[in-house]
Copies of this chain bind each other. A is one copy, B any other.
Amino acid sequence: MSAGVVKVGLLGLGTVGGGVIKTIRLQQEKLFARLGKRIEIVKALVRDSEKERAVQVDPALLTTNFEDVLKSDVDIVVEVMGGVEPTYDYVRALIEKGCHVVTANKELLAKRGPELVELANRHQVHLAYEASVAGGIPILSVLRQFLRTNDIHGVRGILNGTTNFILTKMEAEQLPYQEVLKQAQELGYAEADPRSDVEGFDAMYKLYILAQLVYGESLPLANVVRKGIADLSPGHIRIASELGYRIKLIAQAQKTEQGIRLSVQPTMLPLAHPLAQIQDSFNAVQLSGNIVGDLLFTGRGAGELPTASAVVEDLAYLLTQPFTPHPAWEEKTAEAQPAQAEDERVLCYLEGSCPAATPDRVLHFLREAGVTVTKLKVQFDLGGVLRAGLIATGIREEHEAVLKSDFGLDVRCFPLLETA
């Protein structure tokens, strides 16, 4: 690294990349005063060097050819292009040249993290990725700090702002999923192809990274319970609310006797639960330590500047810390896990218009089958459609099958988060 200048290469110059340039410019003096070094972007890999950009960049810095970045002798690469191919190959080539890495790419870390960590350690370069989880919330550095003095039992949170925005709007305006998704796309809160967000992939990648940090290991992505929000209806949300609950897409890492359990799924939270209060596109992470107790961190989980803030903090961190080896990342396979344990309480939503499906008969069947129902809300509309929500323990797949075949009911069970 030359004396007063840090040469930074950017892979990608989209929303976050533009935010990184803006932040470095805006906070130039502050960064220089603190670091004693000037941060200079010397090359930026883009898909289209002719494209209009929100941030003004010297055209000579732009290239569409990765080899130009590799040749430009950068000290640090900031990877904000996303995806795994060809990103992984680019990052690997730069690490092999002794370049430190700052990345916001959760998918890359969740799919190739163990190799990247090993590679960075071998070449004695920093691999920093605060921006990959929960945007501007400094959850990784806070977790690292707490791990020094606490055993962390578990971490859970709302890690995807797009789905939280959609769920908030579905509840507030009683609109169906598809309509809210369209609005979110128009507002720029959801991508044209929304699957990574709404099917829970994005939250799952972030959860994978949190688990690596907290437990020193994670699960292969195929072993993570993952359910999205695309099949949620205003009926689910309304019944939940009448029973005193709110649906959130909750990502959760727990250590059980069987090993780590990771899940991302629509979950019912009592209205007073701190995570039930997190609305719109906000993210929140709750962690439980044996000494510190429960802590909750809330902030914008995405967006140009909050994410850029985390990237630039990582840059500042690299420049003030000597290299120390990154703890290895491991993956342990686990048996496929059910969405919830058999004896857990669930909120079960039933909907159908078959005359056989009277509340009395449904309850009678469940009681005979050994299911304990502690709370029930029933609605009939003028078209004779029954919508019911019940809080129950002991509902198993076989019961759901009978409710469908004998009572003509669509059934959807949601796990409940009981404790704060």
Residues of B contacting A42 with CB < 8 Å?
A: none
A286 to chain B, nearest CB (A): 9
Report yes or no: B149 in contact with A138, Cβ–Cβ below 8 A: no
A113 to chain B, nearest CB (A): 22
Q: Does A300 contact B (CB under 8 A)?
A: yes
Residues of B contacting A305 with CB < 8 Å?
A: 291-293
Residues 94-138 of A, flagged 1 when their CB comes within 8 A of B and 0 if not, give 000000000000000000000000000000000000000000111
Q: Known: A23-B291, A26-B291. Is A149-B309 also a contact (CB below 8 A)? A: yes
Instruction: Select from chain B the residue with minimum beta-carbon distance to A130.
Output: B145
Report yes or no: A298 in contact with B296, Cβ–Cβ below 8 A: yes
Instruction: Select from chain B the residue with minimum beta-carbon distance to A305.
Output: B291
Q: Does A297 contact B (CB under 8 A)?
A: yes
A282 to chain B, nearest CB (A): 9
Residues of B contacting A150 with CB < 8 Å?
A: 27, 309
Residues 68-111 of A, flagged 1 when their CB comes within 8 A of B and 0 if not, give 00000000000000000000000000000000000000000000
Residues of B contacting A274 with CB < 8 Å?
A: 277, 298
Report yes or no: B313 in contact with A148, Cβ–Cβ below 8 A: yes
CA–CA, A277 and B272, complex, Å: 9
CA–CA, A182 and B304, complex, Å: 50
Q: Does A411 contact B (CB under 8 A)?
A: no
Q: Known: A145-B138, A151-B30, A316-B149. Is A309-B294 also a contact (CB below 8 A)? A: no
Residues of B contacting A309 with CB < 8 Å?
A: 146, 149-150, 289, 291-292
Q: Does A413 contact B (CB under 8 A)?
A: no
Report yes or no: B145 in contact with A141, Cβ–Cβ below 8 A: yes
Q: Does A325 contact B (CB under 8 A)?
A: no
Q: Does A394 contact B (CB under 8 A)?
A: no
Instruction: Select from chain B the residue with minimum beta-carbon distance to A316.
Output: B148
Besides A136-B292, A296-B299, 13 more A-B contacts (Cβ < 8 Å) are: A27-B291, A30-B149, A30-B151, A31-B148, A145-B313, A148-B316, A149-B316, A274-B298, A292-B306, A295-B297, A296-B296, A296-B297, A297-B297
